[in-house]
Amino acid sequence: EETLDSVMKSLKELLSYHDGRRSTMTKTLSCTSVKAMGTLSSCPSGMTVTGCSCGFACGSWNVQNENVCHCLCPVIDWTVARCCKLA
């Protein structure tokens, strides 16, 4: 039942997938920093927190919902979220 036409159809489908994959082949790790006043700083949509930096020398923080840095010291003036994604 397989004809040259059906083969070509599958082949074209594969080639169209391939174009989508080409972007995958060149994916790299892309990161940025987001600074905010106060104890919370959020990553842009689609990015996840890999680390946080806090004002007043504070090194205690946690991550909320995988995309928000929360600095935990009693006095904090600013919070930086380090945010990464594949791009």
Residues that bind its own copies (CB under 8 A): 2-4, 7-8, 10-11, 14-15, 17-18, 20-21, 24-25, 27-33, 35, 48-63, 66, 73, 80, 82, 84-86
Q: Which residue has the tokens 């927190």?
A: 49
Extended strands (E) in the chain? 29-37, 40-42, 48-54, 61-64, 68-71, 78-86
Supply the minimum distance, in Å, between the C-beta of residue 14 and its own copies: 6
* Shortest Å distance, C-beta 31 to its own copies: 5
- For the CB of residue 21, give the shortest distance to its own copies in the complex, in Å: 6
Work out the angle at residue 33's Cα, subtended by the Cα atoms of residues 29 and 39, and round it to the nearest 5 degrees. 135
